[in-house]
A and B are shown apart, each in its own frame.
Chain A
């Protein structure tokens, strides 16, 4: 069978208007179904004829999945809210600016108008080999083309690689982990609420997936508790060009300062591993310390311990170290 790309094969399109109907469709088609949010990731797969679902379930007509609501001390964001909605929401901007900042750095205005928060956190990896349809581990094969002495792997992982060396490309996912968000999932087992951190998986759990979503599941909303409301936030994404580009490395942090000392902190890197990498050791080390350049530099050193660079991505080590330092130092200068 000859290979051809760039032409979407036929599929059955469903446009449910309720979550119940969407879930029923997921149940009916199981692995042959595809939940379609903004389409930025999905259409790439479809047009390359690599992922070929029988049933595409377009979630854009499900009103329950949209909207940003104040809940208790925090906010609940429907998974189908666009990244622009998230970026421009006044409450998120004032209380959880880390998320609006991260959302504002995604791709381009057009993509943010179309792309959704649920889609952004659930997107697949951008490894060129995997996206190119190579029969790699992640695609069900038994080799990683990106991890050989001649591979092109500048954008790949420093940490948590296991056969596959691809990274999570999301900008909003690490910000949500830093904000201790909860992801609400509806599926075969009813409603499930998980910590943002636990939504993402490594190849050792399942090499073919980036998240815990099972074929029958739909991510319905993301709840941000008041815990980190108004904390000191830092987001920085380093990329090759300033629009329409994924992170080479990003840092998201939330920090509470009290009496000149770091009372509490959450700090998460992305694009360095198969899931957003929360720096637990760094967080522990930083508590009770002052948020200074030196403390930041030491934290950066600790953050990069245990890295395993590939042929082309060792630059991510100092980059990560420096981004941690900048997050602690705080001011983007």
Chain B
């Protein structure tokens, strides 16, 4: 067990100065001799078949070196659901068709303008419900949904399904379904039943760094600079996309300017720079612009939903019946809608529950996980409904959440898993205490001229860790500890935070610790992906395991040289010494030298059988350099890891202009022990701000007639600006350790987002009183229409407006 000297304290991570001064090199900042620049030809149509491409004029242009089409991509055993870097059947406007490498971007762009593409337009669909109608268009030839990840099939609902629904969401045959308890009985027992048709839009990820990529080849090895969330786990994806063995890939990704789930294992366009470089015989840089990032980057799937909830008079939820239609884009099935069912089951522990869902293909960008996938959408949709019930039942809004809250004994979801910990009531209490809730809520409805105040509370949850990955570290004869981290440097600092666990166990100062990261040529162990808030939990444990193995090796080395049993030695103060006598024994530098002399397991020539092949390869690369610790996280554990966030917001709505000012926001989380207090605050407040955008201004808009998007640039997509962030923002953790992590820590990247959206939506609803908008973002126009009793320009189930 770590002594916690560094764990839980603030510090400056080693990449901080480089980032602050602009010296950090991201994929786009690299240059190589003879480097060419790539540009893409993107589909102007939402769905078409490319009949012919005439590149003769482009190829004849001076400075054009290579043109890559889908024919140049390696054959893969691609399941039908996955997109590739280039295609001959674009399924959304902006999907890349071919790439040109030229001496500069000017020339490449001119070459693209000289290319003639003959398209056969195909039917397309933007709104999933249009595709479900009898005779409605399909996003793909052959169907509108993907079955078992390998077949495109067609599902149509009946005219009767639509007719019966009226203005509400129709609910035809679902693809996914489960029931817990007896939903009908649950509604019979309810004192209040709310039945709501709701909509949550799809949304681009908007990472600050776009998915640029640079690649070159040396001696049949591919050197590739990419923008990726993960590091070690991205390399196999590159190999697969390029059609080479993973051992041929050297992936460099020391920094990542945000991914939010859109770059978990790198990006699909990595193949373009790599294969163009191979074809041209020169390095190739593919810079991705903002509008391109939003065109062929990824997006969060939107939901159309019907939510029927039964409440007892005390607020306890007796029945929760949910039906979600997921806007899936044209490719692989997103798990958001089923994740949403887990969030509902966990957050509200309904006594009876039914989930039904269907994921429908649309001709819009490829979907992927986005920070709390499924969780954000469902939290934004359901939390205002909980408030509505609280109002009707005259209950306090924190109390109604407490009465339904999970705890450590909760089992949830279709497979009735348990959780490692859930201190939700404690989190709600702490939030109430921090804002002085009894006083805070009195501000609801207070007016100041044309402005009225609203307050909102929201509970959000999301997964927070995984298990079973490897740690790898070496103490070298220079006396320093080298912690090799296979996780990516996404900006959360967990790359560095989780290394500090080893320092604590081995009592090595941070100044004597070198974190090795971001380059698969530097021997990185098998790691979790940098996604799903996994790394804090997974790699505190993996590094604790490796540090424990290293400590054992050091004890054995000392015993071999100085006699006695290994157990009679301790490691501290830079030495391996007799317990209770720090002056005895040897320095770590000396122990490292002895490890090299001893070989075998001491310097990494032999490693534990149960570690991953990647880690074995990495360990082999480091063998003989010092005293090694390499181990798998075998701490085990039972149940799923979840963290929770309670957000409390105060807004002021101007009833004459629809303007909304968020005046206060407090976020409190259950994330176990806090590893890096400053980093934690950045995560929970940063995630909240992302939520404010979805609540208020950030849009995803398509022209439905032409299937073309209008929100691909930051100025028309409108993520929140610093002036949309309240001056008062507080963040805190309840700091109850998770019982199943020796370090007590859980991840926290995901859950703050949903709380940020929902608390602000609830506060706006509170300010306006009888508010029945049922969709987000709650923008100025919708608020004014509502306040002026003017018809909204579109109905709830209209998407992408």
> Given A6-B291, A240-B779, A312-B794, are A1 and B657 neighbors across the interface (CB < 8 Å)?
no
With A238-B657, A242-B721, A322-B657 known to touch, is A248 a contact of B117 (CB < 8 Å)?
no
Once the chains bind, are A5 and B721 in contact (CB under 8 Å)? no
Shortest C-beta distance, B661 to chain A (Å), equals: 8
In the bound complex, residues from chain B placing their C-beta under 8 Å from that of A6 are 289, 291-292
Bound-state Cα–Cα, A1 to B705, Å: 23
Say yes or no for B179: interface residue by CB 8 A criterion: no
B781 at the interface (CB under 8 A from A): yes
Instruction: Decide if B703 touches A242 in the complex (CB within 8 Å).
Output: no
B714 in contact with A244 (CB, 8 Å): yes
Question: What is the minimal beta-carbon distance from B593 to any residue of chain A, in angstroms?
Answer: 56
Closest to A309 in B: B793
* Chain A CB within 10 A, most for which of B448, B696, B788: B788
Verify if A57 is at the interface (C-beta below 8 Å from B). Answer: no
In contact, A4 and B697 (Cβ under 8 angstroms): no
A90 within 8 A of B: no
> Contact: B793 with A1, CB < 8 Å?
no
CA distance A8 to B107 in the complex (A): 11
A312 to B780, CA, bound (A): 12
Which of the residues A7, A312, A315 comes within 8 Å of B790, measured between beta carbons? A315
Which of chain B's residues 704-751 have a Cβ closer than 8 Å to chain A? 704-706, 708, 710, 714-716, 718, 720-724
A231 CB within 8 Å of chain B = no
CA A154 to CA B801, docked complex, whole Å = 9
| B40 closest partner in A (C-beta) | A4
Q: How far is the CA of A321 from the CA of B304 in the complex (A)?
A: 34
A152 x B703 contact (CB < 8 A): yes
Stretch at the interface among B18-26, B75-83, B108-116: B108-116
B156 in contact (CB, < 8 A): no
Contact B703 A4 (CB under 8 A): no
B701 CB to closest chain A CB (Å) equals 6
Contact call B106/A10, Cβ cutoff below 8 A:
yes
Tell me, in angstroms, the Cα distance from A8 to B659 when the chains sit together: 37
Separation in Å of the B580 CB from the closest CB of chain A?
62
Instruction: Decide if A241 touches B106 in the complex (CB within 8 Å).
Output: no
Q: Which of A44-103 contact B (CB under 8 A)?
A: 49
Do B718 and A245 touch (CB < 8 A)?
yes
Are the CB atoms of B724 and A242 closer together than 8 Å?
yes
Within 8 A of B (CB), among A106-148: 108, 128-129, 132, 145, 148
A244 touches B715 (CB 8 A): yes
Q: Using Cβ atoms and an 8 Å threshold, which residues of chain A touch B791?
A: 314
CB-CB < 8 A to A318: which residues of B? 784, 787-788, 790
In the complex, A253 Cα to B696 Cα: how many Å? 28
Please name the residue on chain B nearest to A318 by beta carbon: B788
A93 to B784, alpha carbons, bound, how many Å?
Answer: 32
A150 interface hit (Cβ, 8 Å): yes
Chain A residues contacting B716 (CB-CB under 8 Å) are 128
Report if A278 contacts B (CB, 8 A). Answer: no
- Which residue in chain A gives the minimum CB-CB distance to B788? A318
Report how far A56 CA is from B480 CA in the complex, Å. Answer: 59
Is B801 within 8 A of A312, CB to CB?
yes
Query: Which listed residue (B113, B656, B710) contacts A322, Cβ 8 A?
Result: B656
Minimum CB–CB distance for B799 against chain A, Å: 12
Chain B CB within 10 Å — which of A108, A240, A317 has the most?
A240
Cα of A318 to Cα of B783 in the assembled complex, Å? 11
Mask, A203-242, CB within 8 Å of B = 1, is: 0000000000000000000000000000000001011111
The yes or no answer to A243 lying at the interface (CB within 8 A) is yes
**Are A333 and B451 in contact, CB atoms less than 8 angstroms apart?**
yes
Q: Does B154 contact A (CB under 8 A)?
A: no
Interface residue from B44, B116, B696 paired with A240 (Cβ < 8 Å): B696
Residue of A9, A150, A241, A322 near B109 (CB, 8 A) is: A9
Asked if B785 contacts A315 (CB within 8 A), the reply is yes
Contact with B along A17-59 (1 / 0, CB 8 A): 0000000000000000000000000000000010000000000
Question: Is B558 engaged at the interface, CB distance under 8 Å to the other chain?
Answer: no
| Of A4, A8, A238, most B-chain CB atoms within 10 Å | A4
Q: Nearest CB to that of B115 among chain A residues?
A: A2
A144 to B292, CA, bound (A): 26
Q: What 0/1 pattern do residues 634 to 665 of B give for CB contact below 8 A with A?
A: 00000000000000000000001111000000
Say yes or no for B12: interface residue by CB 8 A criterion.
no
B586 sits at the interface (CB 8 A) = no
Once the chains bind, are B784 and A319 in contact (CB under 8 Å)?
A: yes
**In the complex, what residues of A have CB within 8 A of residue B722's CB?**
243
Is the C-beta of B39 less than 8 angstroms from some C-beta in chain A? yes
Which residues of A, 306-333, contact B by the 8 Å Cβ criterion?
Answer: 311-315, 317-319, 322-323, 325-326, 331, 333
- Asked whether B289 lies within 8 Å of A4 as measured between CB atoms, the reply is no
Given the known interface contacts A241-B720, A318-B790, A326-B656, the answer about A132 and B112 at a Cβ–Cβ threshold of 8 Å is no
Tell me if A4 and B450 are in contact (CB < 8 A): no
**A3, CB-defined interface residue at 8 Å:** yes
Closest chain B residue to A239, Cβ basis = B780
Chain A residues in 8 Å Cβ range of B780? 238-240, 248, 315, 319
Q: Flag if A325 contacts B656 (CB, 8 Å).
A: yes
Contact call B658/A238, Cβ cutoff below 8 A: yes
A323 touches B657 (CB 8 A): yes
**How many A-B residue contacts, CB cutoff 8 Å?**
133
Which residues of B lie under 8 Å from residue A49 when comparing CB positions? 109, 113
Residue A285 is within 8 A (CB to CB) of chain B in the complex: no
For the complex formed, measure the closest distance between the CB of A120 and the CB atoms of chain B, giving whole angstroms: 15
Smallest CB gap from A245: residue in B: B718
Which listed residue (A9, A236, A312, A325) contacts B781, Cβ 8 A?
Answer: A312
A333 touches B450 (CB 8 A): yes
CA distance A238 to B781 in the complex (A): 10
Q: Which residues of A contact B449 (CB under 8 A)?
A: 331, 333
Are A2 and B781 closer than 8 Å at their CB atoms?
no
* Interface status of B105 (Cβ within 8 A of chain A): yes
Whether, in the assembled complex, A292 has its beta carbon less than 8 Å from a beta carbon of chain B, the answer is: no
Residues 248-283 of A, flagged 1 when their CB comes within 8 A of B and 0 if not, give 100000000000000000000000000000000000
A148 to B781, Cβ gap below 8 A?
A: no
Q: Which residue of A lies closest to B715 (CB)?
A: A244
Partner of A241, one of B291, B704, B724, B790: B724
Nearest residue in B to A248 (C-beta to C-beta)?
Answer: B780
Contact B39 A150 (CB under 8 A): no
A308 to B782, CA, bound (A): 19
Which residues of B (86-139) have their CB < 8 Å from a CB of A?
105-106, 108-110, 112-117
Instruction: Answer whether A7 and B703 are a contact pair too, CB < 8 Å, given A241-B720, A242-B724.
Output: no
Q: How many Å from the CB of A139 to the closest CB on chain B?
A: 15
Could you tell me if A7 and B109 are in contact, using CB atoms closer than 8 angstroms? yes
Question: In the bound complex, do residue B705 and residue A319 qualify as a contact, i.e. CB atoms below 8 Å apart?
Answer: no
Closest to B714 in A: A244
Q: Does A289 contact B (CB under 8 A)?
A: no
Closest residue of chain B to A149, judged by CB? B705
Closest to B710 in A: A128
Cβ-defined contact, A242 with B450, below 8 A: no
- Looking at B39, B722, B780, B788, the one whose CB has the most chain A CB atoms below 10 A away is B780
| Nearest Cβ on chain B to A267's Cβ, whole angstroms | 16
Which residue from B41, B714, B779, B793 sits with its C-beta under 8 Å from A4? Answer: B41
Q: Do residues A4 and B784 form an inter-chain contact, with CB atoms below 8 A?
A: no
Contact call A152/B710, Cβ cutoff below 8 A: yes
Given contacts A241-B718, A245-B715, contact A2 B703 (CB under 8 A): no
A4 touches B113 (CB 8 A): yes
Check if B291 sits within 8 Å of A5, measured CB to CB: yes
Closest A-chain residue to B791, C-beta based? A314
Cα–Cα, bound, A132→B720 (Å): 23
Contacts of A8 in B (CB 8 A): 106
| C-alpha gap A303/B693 in the complex (Å) | 33
Given A150-B703, A151-B703, A312-B801, also A4-B724 (CB < 8 A)? no
User: Once bound together, how far apart are the Cα atoms of A151 and B793, in whole Å?
Assistant: 11
Q: Which 7 A-B pairs have the closest CB atoms?
A: A333-B449, A242-B723, A243-B721, A7-B109, A322-B656, A315-B781, A6-B289
Write 15 A-B pairs (CB below 8 A) sorted by A numbering.
Answer: A2-B116, A7-B109, A129-B703, A150-B705, A152-B710, A154-B793, A242-B723, A243-B721, A244-B715, A245-B718, A312-B793, A318-B790, A322-B657, A326-B450, A333-B449
